[in-house]
Structure 1
Amino acid sequence: MKALVGLLAVLTLNAVAPAGATAAKDAAQKVYVLSQDDGTLSIIDTAVDEIIGQIEIPGKPAAFTISPALDEAFATLPDSGQIAVIDLRRQKLDRLLKIGGQPFGIAITAPGQLFVGDWSANVVSAVDPQSGEIVRKIPVGRSPAHLVATREGSRLYVADREADSIAIIDTRRFGVLQEIPVGRAPFALALSLDEKQLVVANAQAATLSIVDTSSLQVVSTLATRAMPYGVAMTGNDAKILISNQQGGSISVFDAQTRAPRAEIKVGRYPEGLVALKSGSKAYVANWFSASVSVLDLKTNTEIKRIKCPEGPRMVLAVSTEP
């Protein structure tokens, strides 16, 4: 299971605002941290950057997604072939969905379609989020890792880690539109706010592939530090953030010129990361340090390190505004 490393997700929302509005936007967000080793979902209040709640999950969860509409989180359990469904309002496990196989990457669309990648069967399944019934299986490349859906939910991007490609799925027809070759071992994905670009972190190639989502072509390839295992874009599409697993750092690139801008030291083996919608701060899961680094993206510095349960692998940010 060592190859099954953490995912990330990023909420890319409008970020240009006065200072007061920026603080209000950030205060209206929570960051959720999935710790695999301890089986815990921690909740960070971004106004004070402290953990304000923890939810136990059975087994060793690999990845998770959140449905703000349902107020639920869905975490994959590869060892037991299950999905843990967490009630975020009551902060407790609600139910377990038995789907079989080795579920890993997971995404839920705004309309409520749940998609789960099976690492060993090389398929992405559409799953009923209430019953766990598999509605349809869609063959993809080997070892589907991170999944990311467009806002309206008609398209799903899948990083096929052992196939060195990205699968683009039409979620309405349940079919693959195209497979795009990228670098070696693609793992993490991030969509720009306008959804015109998909950024792919190629872990073993130490590169980023920039995909034009209209032409479905790789338009640029950027060199990174060793083992890039997480990627995010700020809410105004100004910066690309990459977690360098082996170097214990975050690289910052200008999203327009694609030039490197900064290198920020964090904890050991950083993986998942997320930027707040204002673009002022980012949060990084440090797998081997059992911590989350808080980054100031104006000064490109680590401003705090939050201790959390063992094995943090993935972070998500969710707005608490209605």
Structure 2
Amino acid sequence: MKGTFASTIAALLMTTAVATAQTIVFVPEGSADSVRMVKAETGETIRRITGLEAVHGLSGAPGVPYLVAGSYAETDRVAIVELNQPEGASEDEHAAHHAKPAAKPIGPADAGISILSVLDAASGEIIRRIGVPGAVHHTTVSPDGRFAVATHPSGDGISVVDLTTFELIAFIPTGSMPNYAAFGSAPDIVYVSNGGNGTISEIDLDRAIVRRNMVAGTAPEHIVIDAANSILFAADAEEGNVLELSLEDGSVLRSFAIGGELHGLDLSDDRTSLFVAGRGEDKIVAVDLATGGLTFAPLSPEPYHLTNIPGTGTFYVSSRAEPKVWIIDEATLAAVGEFPIEGEGHQIVAIR
């Protein structure tokens, strides 16, 4: 049945991609322990992927066959082994199959264990579980599909997973309370916002080092990168500002005064507009990046995570107060649809 279902979903994606370049969207449902897979234009549910405890972080990249989901709950190593045990295999057989010399745990010695789940991007099937040190907030996948990165706010660092082997290969200290992570044009360089000390770290994943820190307001959280122009946008969430930073020299080029507590942000397909969720004042904002002009529209209650949906002229916004997601027209900032979810909508991913 699983194989048949996966084949059906894969066929659906191939058919719609050819006919209408349809985008499929994945919405993590937080406390519902699931990810909802929907059609971008309507929000119609294709499937709910269950068995993902406290899923908050979710990421993918164009052309990469995997999505990576992070759990904000902690578990133990035994539970991870059991989750990966093939059906029909005894515990002894499974242990013998994976027997290897004991390795020193990666990450802080006192960290709990959380789970990164690797999903097939076409079918949504869970294909691997990986233990990482501490609760996962957000995740990101490198443009070449080699790395997955997870932020650990309580551990002041990030986990790095090799997606060719599905193994945790490094824990890299970044700064106080790392929140969000994003790649630019280089597949081995990731940028991480540190909400606890007002910096953004540039990290070399091949060397497992922080190459530099850029000062970015008081408490930067969500970030998005315009790789073609070497620009990073960061939501200084509590201050109500969005900062535009140069990735060439780390300087702050502009600051956009949005007002109120901020949360998610994303860029339009053509990188000429930036969209921001104003959670604290029940609004969404479009920033014209050519002029710096701001357009405001009310949206209630508590607009939260925000993701551009490629090829549709819309973006999705989840509500932190109610179990639903709005579909917003980018040109007018009007809600052209909404759909119910379970739990809370966190790091939404669109795959075209």
User: What TM-score comes out, normalization by structure 1 length?
Assistant: 0.85
Equivalences for residues 1-322 of structure 1 within 5 A: 27-80=21-74, 81-111=114-144, 112-129=146-163, 133-192=167-226, 194-260=228-294, 262-278=295-311, 280-319=313-352
More off after superposition, 119-128 vs 33-42: 119-128
Contact in 2 for aligned 1:26/1:277 (Cα 8 Å): no
Distance in 2 (CA, whole Å) between partners of 1:208 and 1:290 is: 26
Superposed CA deviations along residues 10-58 of structure 1, whole A, max 9, x for unmatched, are xxxxxxxxxxxxx989742112111112122112212333222211133
Over the matched positions of the two proteins, sequence identity in percent amounts to: 17
For the structure 1 residues 264 and 188, does the alpha-carbon distance in structure 2 shift closer, same or farther, using more than 3 Å as the test? same
Distance in 1 (CA, whole Å) between partners of 2:65 and 2:131 is: 21
Distance in 2 (CA, whole Å) between partners of 1:216 and 1:24 is: 41
More off after superposition, 187-196 vs 158-167: 187-196
Structure 2 SS opposite 1:103: coil
Q: Compute the displacement of 1:193 (Å).
A: 5.2
Distance in 2 (CA, whole Å) between partners of 1:25 and 1:190 is: 30
More off after superposition, 170-179 vs 157-166: 170-179
Aligned residue type for 1:266: L
Superposed CA deviations along residues 192-217 of structure 1, whole A, max 9, x for unmatched, are 25242110001111111100111221
By relative contact order (CA 8 Å, sep 6+), the higher-ranking structure is: 1
Superposed CA deviations along residues 83-124 of structure 1, whole A, max 9, x for unmatched, are 122233333332321123222221111231122222212112
Distance in 1 (CA, whole Å) between partners of 2:290 and 2:188 is: 26
Distance in 1 (CA, whole Å) between partners of 2:265 and 2:41 is: 23
Contact in 1 for aligned 2:189/2:205 (Cα 8 Å): yes
Distance in 1 (CA, whole Å) between partners of 2:260 and 2:19 is: 34
Contact in 1 for aligned 2:266/2:276 (Cα 8 Å): yes
Q: Which residue of 2 aligns with 1:9?
A: none
Contact in 1 for aligned 2:199/2:215 (Cα 8 Å): yes
Distance in 2 (CA, whole Å) between partners of 1:43 and 1:182 is: 34
Distance in 1 (CA, whole Å) between partners of 2:30 and 2:321 is: 11
Structure 1 SS opposite 2:56: coil
Q: Compute the displacement of 1:300 (Å).
A: 2.2
Distance in 2 (CA, whole Å) between partners of 1:285 and 1:245 is: 10
Aligned residue type for 2:129: L
Aligned residue type for 2:176: R
Bigger helix fraction: 2
Q: Compute the displacement of 1:318 (Å).
A: 1.0
Bigger strand fraction: 1
Contact in 2 for aligned 1:99/1:133 (Cα 8 Å): no
For the structure 1 residues 58 and 29, does the alpha-carbon distance in structure 2 shift closer, same or farther, using more than 3 Å as the test? closer
Superposed CA deviations along residues 54-81 of structure 1, whole A, max 9, x for unmatched, are 1113321121112554532211113221
Superposed CA deviations along residues 258-317 of structure 1, whole A, max 9, x for unmatched, are 111x22233422221112334611111112221111111122211111111121122111
The structure with the largest alpha-carbon Rg is 2
For the structure 1 residues 51 and 259, does the alpha-carbon distance in structure 2 shift closer, same or farther, using more than 3 Å as the test? same
Superposed CA deviations along residues 112-158 of structure 1, whole A, max 9, x for unmatched, are 11222222121122223366533122221111111001244132110
Structure 1 SS opposite 2:138: strand
For the structure 1 residues 59 and 277, does the alpha-carbon distance in structure 2 shift closer, same or farther, using more than 3 Å as the test? closer
Contact in 1 for aligned 2:274/2:289 (Cα 8 Å): yes
RMSD across aligned C-alpha pairs, in angstroms?
A: 2.2
Structure 1 SS opposite 2:232: strand
In structure 2, runs of 5+ residues without a counterpart are 1-16, 75-113
Structure 2 SS opposite 1:263: strand
Runs of 4+ in 1 over 4 A off after TM superposition: 23-27, 67-70
Aligned residue type for 2:333: N
Contact in 1 for aligned 2:239/2:259 (Cα 8 Å): no
